[in-house]
Structure 1
Amino acid sequence: MTQQQRKALDELVRQGPLDVGGDIAEQRVIFHEMLSATPVPDDVSAKRGELGGVPVVTVETPGTDPSVAVLYFHSGAYVLGSAADCVGLAAEVSRRVGARAVSVDYRLAPEHPFPAALDDAVAAYRALLDEGVPSTKIALVGESAGGGLVAATLVALKDADLPQPSSAVVFSPWADLTVSGASMTGKADLDPLLTPEGLRIRARDYIGEHDPATPLASPIFADLTGLPPLLIQVGSHEILLDDAVRLASRAADHNVAVELQVWPEVPHIFQGCGALLDDADRALLAVSAFIKRNWLT
């Protein structure tokens, strides 16, 4: 059944209208419509607010523990998406982990290029600490560009002498804005959603005049020493496969406790496809187990 599910999902994604490298205004509308097409369960609470002056959406599900928090970063290649758009997947993480998910509405490029998104991420984390949530009770989770932003945020927190969270989880991280990974070409025919050309366009929008290999934009080039335990999940059919593998290797080289899970024949951010794919639930259960065992007392 799983093999049939993977094939059906691949065909569905290929028929979608999203063009990550296309006109930004048009693609923002398409991205929003795609992510909002699946209704959020009735037992999910999503409230808009601010954290450190940054807009956020706080997502809660029944039985969440108020003493712990997941700081969540959405996908969209740094130019698309919003905190509200990713409520569905943030809620699934919240439900399994038993913690509220605070989804950060970081500023988007090209209107707000690097390091605006990173500044917002650090400000939100710092504000969570200021509210009295200990770093040992915070986990960072991010999808795609949000996954790369998680890794970059951890490095920025270290540079700012702020305490690291208990753990971090990244789904299909875009961690190399030079778009130089071998899978960019090796998996191009298999990836039903992303293209290297589209990512190069969006990288220029985000990075502006900076070097795309800047470590705080492309964390595979950063010193990852001192980062918390890291879980990386990626699909074997993604052009971002090599970003995930190299990020895991870089973390291991710098003595970070890292787990890399490569899920066969699944598309980008497959974790959000629970209605169509059993692998999505299995992956999220692995995320929950990872985060829970790294909460520190």
Structure 2
Amino acid sequence: MPSVSHHVVAAALRVIGARRIFASAEAARAHLVHRSAHPRSSEPPRRLRPDVIVQRSDRDGWPIYTLRPATSAPHGAVIYAHGGAWVNEIAVQHWQLAAQIAAEARTTVVVPIYPLIPFGNAEAVIADVAAFAQELTREHGAVILAGDSAGGQIALSAALVLRDTYGETAALTLLIAPGLDGSLLNPHIAGVESSDPWLAREGLRVFIDEWRGELAIDDPRVSPLFGQFAGLGPVCIFHGTRDILNPDARLLVTAARNAGVSVDDHEGDGLVHVYPLTPTREGKAARALIAERVREALTHY
């Protein structure tokens, strides 16, 4: 049963109208126009945590933030792609998780500030993230691709391209409530949508259509659920049952396991979208486990 803190968060999402921009195509388009004209800052908080060093560089016009533990030599690297429906900037919760991973897993966490819609699209961003992962593999010896929601889609799609284009396998693909099928046609989604306090299909489809650009909706760079998973490397996934993306997460777990992929599946009964990022008992436990899984994956390299 979800904790009291989780019930409070779910109720707060409804009170603040978190679902508003997803409730209709009109609301989603208005939000896209507003965000593209009035972007928010993507800089990390000034006081993130004292045991992590944050540095900025630029790569092909993207700001790239690198987080490293302050008191120990890092091992391996994690690319963390933030969520936000491909339209919203990185949030403080993403920074806090990236810093926790860097400190507790004693690794380098790289956060690319990728271009959002309408300026970025799946074809260009996935290609760049995969190429960046290949470069970091040469530099660090092992790379984990991670992300939440839209960033989870980027991470899994990039892991597929990394394998197919560069012949490299991510040490782990870490996914938090990833977007997996841009069509949102899974028949089980309808049974979840009424209980999801955050996401809805109509508005989300607007953002997905903008993100996919000229690519087909079933292209694995848009909808990684349609990719081939054999030889992908291990996957760790966190998803909650009060999330319209959950039915596709279940399909991914089954398909990946059927392809011989090791899948560490953490489904939270009654938990909302990206629950590891929430200020709840379940979120705190998930964040600690994420850092542990990253540390374990990198010890093999």
In the alignment, what sits opposite 1:114? Answer: 122
Q: Relative contact order, CA 8 A, sep 6+: which one is greater? A: 2
Residue identity opposite 1:133 in structure 2: H
What root-mean-square deviation, in Å, do the aligned CA atoms of Structure 1 and Structure 2 show?
Answer: 2.8
The question of whether the paired residues in 1 share the 8 Å contact of 2:68 and 2:74 is answered with no
In the alignment, what sits opposite 2:14? Answer: 14
Local SS of the residue matching 2:78: strand
Alignment of 1:275-290 (within 5 A): 276-290=279-293
TM-score scaled by length of structure 1: 0.88
The question of whether the paired residues in 1 share the 8 Å contact of 2:3 and 2:282 is answered with no
Alignment of 1:172-211 (within 5 A): 172-211=177-216
| TM-superposed deviation, 1:142 | 0.5
Counterparts of 1:149 and 1:47, CA distance in 2? 23
Go from structure 1 to structure 2 and tell me whether the alpha carbon gap of 1:144 and 1:159 turns closer, same or farther (over 3 Å shift): same
Counterparts of 2:210 and 2:60, CA distance in 1? 25
1:157 pairs with one of 162, 165, 186: 162
Local SS of the residue matching 2:3: helix
The number of residues matched between the two structures is 292
| TM-superposed deviation, 1:191 | 1.1
| TM-superposed deviation, 1:54 | 4.0
The question of whether the paired residues in 2 share the 8 Å contact of 1:77 and 1:144 is answered with yes
The question of whether the paired residues in 2 share the 8 Å contact of 1:64 and 1:99 is answered with no
Local SS of the residue matching 1:94: helix
The question of whether the paired residues in 2 share the 8 Å contact of 1:108 and 1:117 is answered with no
In the alignment, what sits opposite 1:49? Answer: 57
1:72 equivalent in alignment to 2:77: no
In the alignment, what sits opposite 2:294? Answer: 291
Counterparts of 1:270 and 1:241, CA distance in 2? 12
TM-score scaled by length of structure 2: 0.86
2:223 pairs with one of 210, 218, 223: 218
Local SS of the residue matching 1:80: coil
1:133 equivalent in alignment to 2:140: yes
Counterparts of 1:268 and 1:278, CA distance in 2? 15
Local SS of the residue matching 1:193: coil
Counterparts of 2:114 and 2:297, CA distance in 1? 26
Instruction: List runs of 5+ in structure 1 lacking aligned partners.
Output: none
Deviation per CA, 1:84-111: give whole Å up to 9, x if none.
Answer: 8832221122233221210112222222
Deviation per CA, 1:225-257: give whole Å up to 9, x if none.
Answer: 101110010011111101211111121121111
| TM-superposed deviation, 1:149 | 1.2
Go from structure 1 to structure 2 and tell me whether the alpha carbon gap of 1:61 and 1:181 turns closer, same or farther (over 3 Å shift): farther
In the alignment, what sits opposite 2:3? Answer: 3
Go from structure 1 to structure 2 and tell me whether the alpha carbon gap of 1:2 and 1:211 turns closer, same or farther (over 3 Å shift): closer
Counterparts of 1:224 and 1:65, CA distance in 2? 33
| TM-superposed deviation, 1:196 | 0.7
Go from structure 1 to structure 2 and tell me whether the alpha carbon gap of 1:154 and 1:144 turns closer, same or farther (over 3 Å shift): same
Q: Compare 143-152 and 102-111 and name the one that shifted more.
A: 102-111
Q: Compare 162-171 and 78-87 and name the one that shifted more.
A: 78-87
Counterparts of 1:84 and 1:106, CA distance in 2? 16
Counterparts of 1:77 and 1:180, CA distance in 2? 17
In the alignment, what sits opposite 2:261? Answer: 256
Counterparts of 1:31 and 1:240, CA distance in 2? 26
The question of whether the paired residues in 2 share the 8 Å contact of 1:64 and 1:100 is answered with no
Residue identity opposite 1:49 in structure 2: S
In the alignment, what sits opposite 1:105? Answer: 113
| TM-superposed deviation, 1:30 | 9.5
Deviation per CA, 1:145-179: give whole Å up to 9, x if none.
Answer: 11111111111011113311211110000011111
Counterparts of 2:236 and 2:181, CA distance in 1? 17
The question of whether the paired residues in 1 share the 8 Å contact of 2:75 and 2:106 is answered with no
The question of whether the paired residues in 2 share the 8 Å contact of 1:245 and 1:260 is answered with no
| TM-superposed deviation, 1:278 | 1.1
Counterparts of 1:64 and 1:190, CA distance in 2? 44
Counterparts of 1:52 and 1:86, CA distance in 2? 23
Go from structure 1 to structure 2 and tell me whether the alpha carbon gap of 1:191 and 1:61 turns closer, same or farther (over 3 Å shift): farther
Residue identity opposite 2:232 in structure 1: L
| TM-superposed deviation, 1:61 | 4.0
Instruction: List runs of 5+ in structure 2 lacking aligned partners.
Output: 23-27
